[in-house]
Amino acid sequence: MSRNDERFDGEIEKPEYDAPAGGWGSLSGILAVTMDAEPELATIATLRRQNKPGGFMCASCAWPKPADHAPFEFCENGAKATIWELTRDRCEPEFFEAHTVSDLRDWSDHELEMTGRLTEPMRYDAARDTYVRTTWEEAFAAIGSRLSAIEPKRSVFYASGHAGLEASYLYALYARLHGHNNLPQSSNMCHETTSVGLKEVIGSSVGTVIWEDLKETDCFFFFGQNPGTNSPRFLKPLSEAKKRGATIVTFNPLREPGLLAFTSPQDPVDMLTGGETKISDHYYQLKAGSDIAALTGLCKHVLERDDAARHTGADRILDTAFLDEHTTGFAAFEAFLRETSWEKIEAETGLSRNDIRQAGDVYAKAERVIGVYGMGLTQHPLGATNISMFVNFLCMRGNIGKLGAGCCPVRGHSNVQGQRTVGISEKPSLIPNDRLRDLFGFEPPMEEGYVVTEAMEAALAGEVKAIVSLGGNLCRALPERQSVEKAWSGMDLTVMISTKLNRSHLHPGKEAYILPCLGRAEVDEQETGNQYVTVEDSFSHIHASIGHRDPASPHLLSELEIVARLAKATLPENPKVTWDAWIADYGLVRDLIEKTYPDDFRDFNARMKEPGGFWRGNPARERIWETESGRAEIRVPEKLNARGFEETAGRFNLITVRSNDQFNTTIYGYTDRFRGIEGTRDVVLMNEEDIAELGFSPGDTVSLVNDLSESRSTTHRLGGLVVTPYDVPRGTLAGYYPECNVLVDLMEGDELSKTPAYKSIPVRVERDPAA
């Protein structure tokens, strides 16, 4: 039996390195961080309030918060994020006195974060190469005067998906009042492929699924999303769906234990008996980047079954009513499916046609299918084509806009989707400029701003002089670390609004500030009392969040106050722009959001505390298609794989993934419990046959070299990686993000949205010289 015939439709075999996701393993995972970061007992009380009405919304991922919540409505990683934020460790001005910035560059990302919460505003002193304590007044005045001296379009205001809707709305307003649309966001590295690609084909830039659908669906298809690690609260509705008979089919090059089995830490019986729910019924390990071909195969099989049904007079397999009434382009797609041979599909995916047919049968039998995807589809040169193919697949049986069905991109940061909703966008065409004009009496800038990779390229070319970063850690998150660090330190001004120390602080511009802010679980006391903030989850539900904890330091300001005071120090006075009143009462900002986006935010202040949040609606869910054609657009893919390079001998496709002991560039520890990797992140996961063919042995130390980077000024190379045998298809390698980012080309990304190709990295493997 070939490896690709491996199925999980009988008894599930547990990978030997794994215990089910959730369960005791997840509790011990939390405990490991707990012991590291020494939380107070009060932290446990805080965890009880997480993701519940009257409490605060998790600062980790954007997975929705249900109305009917469990006693503990958090997961291993949400708990880690909270404990991490509420650490007792402090990174105080005295710390910086003892360490120059150059010295700190030798520290690991983990060590930097472990210094604890930042407590006071800091200014970089170039003469001493260290950050020194400053006052908020000095910081705002200096930053304001520096920014107003730079031509507006030479500044960039980045946001990393954490800050609430109120601060984000004001941040976007600040940029536009200043005169630019340089508002890149973390989704530029993430689901921008969805924002642009999904929008083109169904008219919605966000997913169409909500909680009700999870409860009604018969079947999930997972493409390139890893819930066990990245959205663990998803495992609960998944195992509930399984218990009522739903089927789960997964396409992923790696066998991800979190997609195989789950034990609910909320279920005492499961916990005591070790009872576990099998997650995926079928698991197909396709070659990285071959989803277009796999989806072509699935659609081809559906078409072939429909042909057979027509022949025998049985019920049609295609939802012809949906295709006729709601889509355009199906005829060309049908011709493409007939022309594309199974041989080609097998060669691209490494899967057999029988496997794909088996998955296609599951699809054809299910009445209501939810398609779930994540970074495995978005972070490729043809990421947008991946998504349009995924939509084609769903459309064939009318699986968009009906109960229990739909398209479910799983978003990353807790408010990444919401920040886009309230105006953090580099595209003026997405902004209600007329309303901004009326509300604030100014002429909004119409020149399109930079996405985040373009901003770095422009900085390298000397065209961007200043960056303000509302959260985030671009020096680690972006590709080509070597170039990004250079871009950062070449700027006139770098301003980081942060909770913890990270590498981006260590490449200061000529003038540089660290502005420490409150975390989401902390009290945000203003003139009118403790303030609520709001966030939007992956299902477009808006939730209020309020902190109860004492701030980590009396000097911290909220993100909203920092943004508003920066703006006030930068911009000329405008009677319609009342920063101080907005700082005093965030409810006034919500009124502005409602006036700017009346359809989405009707009765915002009244509705924000609804259990489960309020839904801001989605026309595509009602089968109203806000596309150019007014229909869902079925498109023919131009290629069968999403890679931007040819497969040649010795060239591998490296994908970069997350461990369950990290949140993006924040490294909690060195245990990837699910994948059975302990004590290091410097590994390259390889198929055993590839290891043997290259003449390596497990445990050897190798370098990865970007196979196409020689034509550029710097060769992208990363050494010191330990060869680790893993269940991954031949030709595909996996390594950790962010360590592998030096290997990714800054400007190699999705053709439509420019999302970096973090899952399509052409590399060759070289033996490291003996140490």
Ligand X SMILES: Nc1nc2c(c(=O)[nH]1)N[C@H]1C(S)=C(S)[C@@H](COP(=O)(O)OP(=O)(O)OC[C@H]3O[C@@H](n4cnc5c(=O)[nH]c(N)nc54)[C@H](O)[C@@H]3O)O[C@H]1N2
Largest CA distance in the chain: 83
- Nearest to ligand X of 213, 745 (CB atom): 745
Residue whose CB is less far from ligand X, 344 or 658: 658
Task: For the CB of residue 253, give the shortest distance to ligand X in the complex, in Å.
Answer: 5
CB of 580 vs Mo ion, minimal distance in Å: 34
Integer Cα distance of 546 and 531 in angstroms:
7
Size of the site for ligand X (CB under 6 A): 63
Q: Is residue 534 part of the contact set for ligand X (CB under 6 A)?
A: no
Dist CA 458 CA 465 (whole Å): 9
Q: How far is the CB of 84 from Mo ion (least distance, A)?
A: 18
471 binds, among ligand X, Mo ion, none (CB under 5 to 8 A by kind): ligand X
Binding status of residue 656 toward ligand X by CB under 6 A: yes
From the list 551, 644, 738, 749, which residue makes contact with ligand X (rule: CB under 6 A)? Answer: 738
- Residue for token pair 């199906």: 330
Instruction: Give backbone dihedrals phi and psi of 379, rounded to 5 degrees, phi first.
Output: -95, 60
* Alpha helix ranges (H) inside 86-149: 93-98, 101-104, 109-114, 136-149
From 43, 111, 37, 25, select the one nearest 671 (Cα to Cα): 25
Instruction: Select the binding partner of residue 742 from ligand X, Mo ion, none (C-beta < 5 to 8 A, by kind).
Output: none
Residue from 56, 663, 696, 726 binding ligand X (CB under 6 A):
663
Residue 35: helix, strand or coil by DSSP?
Answer: helix
499 binds, among Mo ion, ligand X, none (CB under 5 to 8 A by kind): ligand X
Q: Which residue pairs from 454-461 have beta carbons closer than 8 angstroms and sit at least 24 positions apart in sequence?
A: 454/184, 454/754, 455/156, 455/158, 455/182, 455/184, 456/483, 456/484, 456/487, 456/746, 457/487, 457/746, 457/747, 459/156, 459/487, 459/488, 459/490, 459/491, 460/486, 460/487, 460/490
* Half-sphere exposure of residue 396: CA atoms within 13 angstroms, side-chain side: 31
Contact between 735 and Mo ion per CB under 5 A:
no
Q: Which is nearer to ligand X, 162 or 301 (CB)?
A: 162
């919401």: which residue's tokens?
418
Q: Is 188 in the site for ligand X (CB under 6 A)?
A: no
Nearest to Mo ion by Cβ — which residue?
412
Q: Which of 147, 190, 249, 542 binds ligand X (CB under 6 A)?
A: 190
CB-CB contact of 264 with 76 (8 Å): no
With CB atoms as reference, the residue minimizing the distance to ligand X is 374
Got the DSSP string for 189-252?
GTTHHIIIIIHHHHS-SS----HHHHHH-SEEEEES--HHHH-GGGHHHHHHHHHTT-EEEEE-
- Asked if residues 513 and 139 have their Cβ atoms less than 8 Å apart, the reply is yes
The pairing of beta strand 511-516 with beta strand 122-125: antiparallel
State the Cα–Cα distance between residues 49 and 308, nearest whole angstrom.
Answer: 55
Footprint on residues 400-419 left by Mo ion (CB under 5 A)? 412
Q: Is 459 in the site for Mo ion (CB under 5 A)?
A: no
Q: How far apart are CA 109 and CA 503, in angstroms?
A: 7
**Closest CB to ligand X among residues 471, 749:** 471
Of residues 295 and 317, the one with the C-beta less far from ligand X? 295
**158 vs 10, 339, 397, 424, 685, CA distance in Å?**
48, 45, 40, 9, 33
**Binding residues among 559-578 for ligand X as defined by CB under 6 A:** 559
List, in order, residues 6 or more apart from 358 with CB less than 8 Å away.
Answer: 7, 282
254 binds ligand X (CB under 6 A): yes
Q: Is 229 in the site for ligand X (CB under 6 A)?
A: yes
Of 194, 204, 208, 230, the one binding ligand X by CB under 6 A: 230
Q: By CB under 6 A, is residue 173 in contact with ligand X?
A: no
Residue 85 CA to residue 354 CA, distance in Å, equals 49
- 64 neighbors 616 (Cβ within 8 angstroms): no
Stretch that binds ligand X, among 15-23, 139-147, 197-205, 512-520 (CB under 6 A): 512-520
φ and ψ at 201, to 5 degrees? Answer: -95, -30
Name which position in 219, 364, 592, 740 contacts ligand X (CB under 6 A): 740
Nearer CB in complex with ligand X: 33/317: 33
- Residue 64 in the binding site for ligand X (CB under 6 A): no
- Min dist. Cβ of residue 309 to ligand X (A): 29
- Decide: 182 and 447 in contact? Cβ < 8 Å: no
Q: Calculate ∠ Cα 766-768-771, nearest 5°.
A: 170
| Residue 229: contacted member of Mo ion, ligand X, none (CB under 5 to 8 Å, by partner type) | ligand X
Choose among Mo ion, ligand X, none what residue 401 binds, the Cβ cut-off being 5 to 8 Å by kind.
none
Among 582, 625, 696, 758, interactor with ligand X by CB under 6 A: 758
Q: Which listed option, ligand X, Mo ion, none, makes contact with residue 477 (CB within 5 to 8 Å by class)?
A: ligand X
Question: Which span (470-478, 523-531, 673-681, 682-690) binds ligand X, by CB under 6 A?
Answer: 470-478
Q: Least distance from C-beta 699 to ligand X, angstroms? A: 23
The reply to whether 190 sits near Mo ion by the rule CB under 5 A is yes
Can you tell me the distance from the alpha carbon of 223 to that of 215, in angstroms, rounded to the nearest whole number? 20
473 binds ligand X, rule: CB under 6 A:
yes
Nearest in space to 380 (alpha carbons), one of 732, 13, 1: 732
759 binds ligand X (CB under 6 A): yes
Contact status: 359 vs ligand X (CB under 6 A): no
Q: In the complex, which residues of this chain contact Mo ion (CB under 5 A)?
A: 190, 412
Residues of this chain that interact with ligand X (CB under 6 A) are: 59, 61, 77, 160-162, 186, 189-190, 223-226, 229-231, 251-254, 256, 288-289, 291, 374-376, 379, 410, 412-413, 470-474, 477, 497-500, 502, 517, 519-520, 559, 655-658, 660, 662-666, 737-738, 740-741, 744, 758-759
